[in-house]
Amino acid sequence: MDNKPAIQIKNVRKSFFLPHEKHDTFIEYATNPMRLFRRSGEQYDVLKDIDLEIYPGEFVGIMGRNGSGKSTLLKIMAGIYEPTSGKVKVNGSMVPFLELGVGFNPELTGRENVYLNGIILGMKKNMLKEKYEEIVDFAELEKFMDMPLKNFSSGMQVRLAFSIAIMADADIYILDEVLAVGDVAFQEKCFDIFRKYKSDGKTVILVTHSPGSVKQFCDRAVFLKDGVLHYYNTIDEVTQAYING
């Protein structure tokens, strides 16, 4: 294992401004126009002084209840959010499986969206041509690819997006709740992808609510609660902390 972290997170904090709900009337604004420039609210710390190092070839699980800050942490790793304070350093190419299907155009066909989404993910058009049948086969959508995407169910769209994303070659993969994609049979295909990433020595960060998946795939895991990262000696301790809430 390389001594240089694939992802290094140091003292990261992320805050958002939460406005207080207030219903002022037009007359109140007209008599006191400075109300327009005053915002009432408070800062909310979604993440609090996060320190985490993930090394090349590690398969790391992140567990936590809804609202614990998991997705925010992943978006900071992926460069979608800037931390309010602290530093994040990424060594290597990255593919984030966060908001699958971002960039899809509902008016275009499934076929056209394969190329559109693949190019957004940094893939070359020739590579997408070579991988097109493999993408469609994995998504199990052969009969639907010439339909407008707006006629796809939400599940079909996510399956297509996932099938495109797994074709992107990278050093680091960030997977956010991808096990919610599709039915049981499709989820087993996702497991096969996890096994391939693991055998290929890829660096993987997996956010999931499934203790079984963490135990099956992860080398280590951490527990995020109320924006604070908690470390434990074993994966069993992490999953138990998650179960206990």
Q: pLDDT value at position 187?
A: 82
Kindly state the tokens that stand for 77. 């790793």
- On whether both 232 and 116 belong to a single domain, the answer is no
pLDDT in tens, 23-65: 556 565 566 665 555 566 778 899 999 999 999 999 999 999 9
- On whether both 177 and 196 belong to a single domain, the answer is yes
Q: pLDDT value at position 32?
A: 66
- On whether both 30 and 78 belong to a single domain, the answer is yes
- On whether both 135 and 116 belong to a single domain, the answer is yes
Kindly state the tokens that stand for 209. 């609510």
- On whether both 215 and 110 belong to a single domain, the answer is no
Q: What is the CATH number of the domain that holds 44?
A: 3.40.50.300
Number of domains composing the chain: 2
- On whether both 75 and 178 belong to a single domain, the answer is yes
pLDDT in tens, 136-163: 999 999 999 999 999 999 889 988 988 9
Q: Which residues contact 75 (CB under 8 A, 6 or more apart)?
A: 81, 98
Listed residues 169, 200, 226: the one ending a domain: 169
- On whether both 89 and 174 belong to a single domain, the answer is yes
Tokens 């559109």 belong to which residue? 116
- On whether both 38 and 125 belong to a single domain, the answer is no
Listed residues 169, 190, 220: the one ending a domain: 169
- On whether both 123 and 235 belong to a single domain, the answer is no
Listed residues 169, 193, 217: the one ending a domain: 169
- On whether both 85 and 11 belong to a single domain, the answer is yes
- On whether both 84 and 139 belong to a single domain, the answer is no
- On whether both 165 and 49 belong to a single domain, the answer is no
Q: What is the pTM of this model?
A: 0.82
Q: pLDDT value at position 40?
A: 67
Domain range for 202: 1-93+170-245
